[in-house]
Amino acid sequence: MKKIYKLFAAVLSLCLAAGALALAACGEKDGKVTYNVSLSCTDTLIFGGLIVQIKGEDGALIEEKPAPDGSVSFTLEGAEYTVDLAEKAGFEGILQEYVYSVATLSAEKSSAQIEILPVSQQYQGQETIAYSVKVVKPDGSPVAGVSVQLCGGPSYVCNFSVTDANGVAPFSLPAGSYEVHIAQKIDGYTFDNTAYTMGTEGGELTVSLVAA
């Protein structure tokens, strides 16, 4: 009887091992990986106004999802990605008073946490200088209410500001090089995210929208 039990246990172990191998083979064939992103902020109420974006190595948007409870998962091809944040429609300006870290994902590192901090905490004790981005239409007229994003600086974080009636979005940041992004869709216009950077001396940069 003991021999029968041992034989049964051996057969069961082989079956389980075969099943595990089959699942692994399927996973490799499918090439999909589940990536998990969590948000960390003392003010969790802002999560409801945010969208988590997954971008490819070339900066192109791959997929985006809301994360109202501070966490979200994506099932994508196994590759390297950048995790970014954007504002949901109707919540433009919600990130104006915050900065956040930009995380990366890969098949080997499938989980990431985005730290979101109030600007007042992020740059406490640091010297900052004035940057500003002016957004205008092709005819030169200012565009108000546009969410502008600057990413970079000494510790590479992303900062938001919203253009005023003069089309100007102000920033007070540590000296560094920053990429400029228009962080929302503007009906009838396009914007080249790769065309603009700001240098270490601050100042104002004018961004002209292009008719779609």
Query: Residues of the chain with pLDDT > 70: what percent?
Result: 84
State how far the Cα of 151 lies from the Cα of 179, in Å rounded to an integer: 5
Model confidence pLDDT, tens digit, residues 105-134: 998 999 999 999 887 677 777 788 999 999
Domain range list for the chain: 30-121, 123-212
Model confidence pLDDT, tens digit, residues 143-186: 998 888 888 888 788 888 889 999 999 998 888 899 898 877 78
CATH architecture assignment, domain 123-212? Sandwich (2.60)
- From 13-27, 86-100, 111-125, 186-200, the region with the lowest mean pLDDT: 13-27
- From 32-36, 78-82, 89-93, the region with the lowest mean pLDDT: 89-93
pLDDT for res 2: 40
DSSP string, 159-188: EEEE--TTSEEEEEE-SS-EEEEE-S--TT
102, 156 Cβ separation under 8 angstroms = yes
Q: Nearest CA to 181 among 102, 118, 114?
A: 102
Mean pLDDT of the chain: 81
191, 207 Cβ separation under 8 angstroms = yes
Q: Quickly count: other Cβ atoms within 10 Å of residue 85's Cβ.
A: 25
Q: Nearest CA to 105 among 86, 71, 77, 66?
A: 77
DSSP string, 119-137: HHHHTTTS--EEEEEEEE-
Statement: residue 199 has pLDDT above 50? yes
User: Is the four-CA dihedral 141, 143, 148, 153 of positive or negative sign?
Assistant: positive
Q: What is the largest CA-CA distance in the chain?
A: 91
What predicted TM-score, i.e. pTM, was given to this entire model? 0.54
Q: Can you name the CATH fold of 30-121?
A: Immunoglobulin-like (2.60.40)
DSSP state of 142: B
30-121 and 123-212 share one CATH topology? Answer: yes
User: Which one has a higher pLDDT value, 63 or 201?
Assistant: 63
Statement: residue 73 has pLDDT above 60? yes
198, 177 Cβ separation under 8 angstroms = yes
